Amino acid sequence: MIKPELPKFPKLKLDVGQRIPASWDFDIGVSLILLVPEAERNALAKSPWADFLKLRLADFPATSNPIVISGPKGTRTAVAFVQDDVSGFKALSQARKLIAPLLAERTRKINVISLLHKAQAACVMAEALVSAAFSALFQLPKISGETPDKPPLAAMNFFGEFDAADFRYAKATAEGNNLARWLTHLPGNYLTPGIYRDFAEALAAVEGWEADFYDLDRLEQLEAGAFLSVVEASPIRDAGILRLSYRPKGSREQPLALVGKGICFDTGGSNLKVSGSMLGMHGDMQGSAVALGTMLALTRLTFPTPWTAGWLWLKTTSAQRRSSAMTLLPR
């Protein structure tokens, strides 16, 4: 068994603030995303490819969105029809559908051209596209077989009204999201409570967080009965509570608190689950993964408010013994 190392986050060059080019003759290996107002699809009539797009898009049902085609000279092009009030999940879902087919073509650069009338909609889509690209480029753990080659995408250029797009936020949240995905993807024998603690403390050292681990001996002294009863069925005493914290220099505010459950694999312990109920139980630590990813994103954004986070690191056989559970009730 190999201990998981800190994941490597993809790098992407982002260029924004460029005017829409008069000619759309792009280099080989460059793909194009067109953002078109859903309520005014004739905005394409003003583009250099107006006649071509009118004929080509007519081959698709009116409800198709997005539409992926090859341009006049073979440029792989994804056309998205965007609502003026697009936001949140809708934007991310649309961005994923735009990015995925272009990465499948192993494009090295994506040019994004906005024909949208609302600058806010353009910026929302730009941030979503960057988030989708970072998510697609991120390498999840590969336990068996060879690690697949990742797409060679290295840059995204944005043409149009994208000046207010917050790419720093998009990148920070993407890294936090990717960290949570990476941790959740690891099987229980690769992410035991002990390994998880080592990983989190190594990340804390890199990011400048304070780490304090409450092992079972310390928790017994504190009479943390509710926690201790849950780990009684574990044969290894590597469970505990890890407290991570960060206070920006000069900050006197009360800290933001995050708590995440970190059961690395819940078999049911003394009350053993049947096989079907164990399927997917390596994901019972998702709460802690989300907390850790949130902390990473806050750090990337130099969040001004101090924060504290604690997780429960529970062994794979986590479950209360029925006899000890009774002692938790008031006498």
Percentage of the chain modeled with pLDDT above 90:
54
- Record the pTM: 0.86
| Per-residue pLDDT tens over the stretch 105-142 | 999 999 999 999 999 999 999 999 999 999 999 999 88
| Rounded average pLDDT over 36-47 | 92
| Per-residue pLDDT tens over the stretch 220-264 | 898 888 778 777 777 778 888 899 999 888 888 888 888 888 777
To which H or E segment does residue 308 belong?
A: strand 307-314
According to the model, what pLDDT value does residue 326 have? 39
- Distance, CA of 224 to CA of 79 (rounded, Å): 57
Per-domain residue ranges of the chain: 13-166, 186-326
- Distance, CA of 285 to CA of 263 (rounded, Å): 5
Q: What is each CA distance from 186 to 7, 103, 148, 149, 190, in whole angstroms?
A: 12, 25, 17, 19, 6
Is 186-326 in CATH node 3.40.630.10?
A: yes
Beta strands in 63-119 (DSSP E): 67-70, 76-82, 109-114
| Per-residue pLDDT tens over the stretch 256-289 | 888 888 777 666 555 566 666 566 666 667 788 9
Is 13-166 in CATH node 1.10.10.10?
A: no
Task: Report whether 12 contacts 199 (CB < 8 A).
Answer: no
Average pLDDT, the chain: 86
| Rounded average pLDDT over 38-55 | 93
